[in-house]
């Protein structure tokens, strides 16, 4: 008899509707989404941490910004994620990169003047021209032209020599970019 009553009770319990309290879970998920959105905003600067691009670390205060991204990796220079120049790299007989070989060597003297780099100049000039064409097609071209910020975000590998950086900055200055924003990895304090 007792067993029958227990069985009936358990059946009764199963039939009961139960609802999950999702509110606290929603709160937690909301916090995660906000955190990820913030991190996504920073990653919008397009930083890709690979073997060929290791940023230097710095104690500089946190800052985010916009601008045309120029990446100086160990093997190539990219302008707005498009490769524009490949460095000469020494390979050994097996096809591996020679240790202690030349780094960040520009291919040939015809690449530009002593201070500028021609392929980088062409790529940056094209970006500027694109902006000017777009601005000229707006209702108020003069006002649109004034929106040119001239900001350039330089993501350079930590081993890049200053000579190469200087050439890139000089080249960018020739095109009309007037503020360089050096991207660094924030040091954990």
Partner 1 sequence: MLRRPSSQRRTRTKEDIELLLVPILDTFVTLIAFLLAATSLLSVTLIDTPVPVVSATPPEIKQKPLSLTIKIELDRFVLSSPFNRIRKQNIDRVGDDQDFVKLHDALLAIKGKYPYEKQIVLMPSPTMEYEDIVKVMDASRRIEEGDPSLYVKEAVKDEFGEEIRDKSGSVVQEDRIVTDLFPEVVFGNILGGA
Q: Provide the binding-site residues for partner 1, judged by CB under 8 A.
A: 19, 22-23, 25-26, 29-30, 32-33, 36-37, 39-40, 42-43, 45, 47-49, 55-65, 114-115, 153, 156-163, 165-166, 169-170, 173, 177-186, 188
92/163 with CB nearer partner 1: 163
90/92 with CB nearer partner 1: 90
Q: 3-state class of 121 per DSSP?
A: helix
Take residue 184 and report the two structure tokens written for it: 């660094």
Strand ranges of the sheet holding 82-86, from the earlier edge strand across to the other edge: 82-86, 76-79, 68-72, 151-156
Q: 156: which strand partners?
A: 72
142/162 with CB nearer partner 1: 162
7/179 with CB nearer partner 1: 179
State the minimum distance, in angstroms, from the CB of residue 89 to partner 1: 18
State the minimum distance, in angstroms, from the CB of residue 156 to partner 1: 5
Pairing of strands 82-86, 68-72: unpaired
Q: Which residues contact 124 (CB under 8 A, 6 or more apart)?
A: 68, 70, 79, 152, 171, 172, 175, 177
């Amino acid at each position: 008899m007792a067993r029958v009553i227990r069985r009936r009770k358990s059946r009764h319990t199963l039939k009961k509707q139960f609802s999950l309290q999702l509110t606290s879970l929603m709160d937690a998920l909301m916090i995660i989404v906000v955190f990820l959105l913030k991190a996504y905003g920073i990653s919008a600067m397009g930083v890709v941490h690979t073997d060929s691009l290791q940023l230097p670390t710095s104690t500089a205060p946190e800052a985010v910004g916009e601008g045309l991204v120029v990446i100086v990796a160990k093997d190539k220079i990219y302008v707005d994620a498009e490769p524009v120049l490949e460095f000469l790299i020494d390979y050994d007989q097996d096809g591996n990169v020679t240790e202690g070989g030349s780094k960040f060597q520009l291919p040939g003297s015809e690449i530009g003047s002593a201070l500028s780099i021609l392929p980088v100049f062409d790529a940056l000039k094209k970006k500027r021209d694109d902006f000017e064409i777009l601005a000229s097609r707006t209702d108020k071209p003069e006002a649109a032209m004034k929106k040119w910020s001239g900001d350039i975000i330089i993501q350079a590998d930590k081993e890049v020599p200053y000579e190469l950086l200087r050439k890139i900055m000089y080249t960018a200055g020739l095109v009309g970019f007037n503020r360089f924003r050096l991207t660094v990895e924030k040091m954990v304090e």
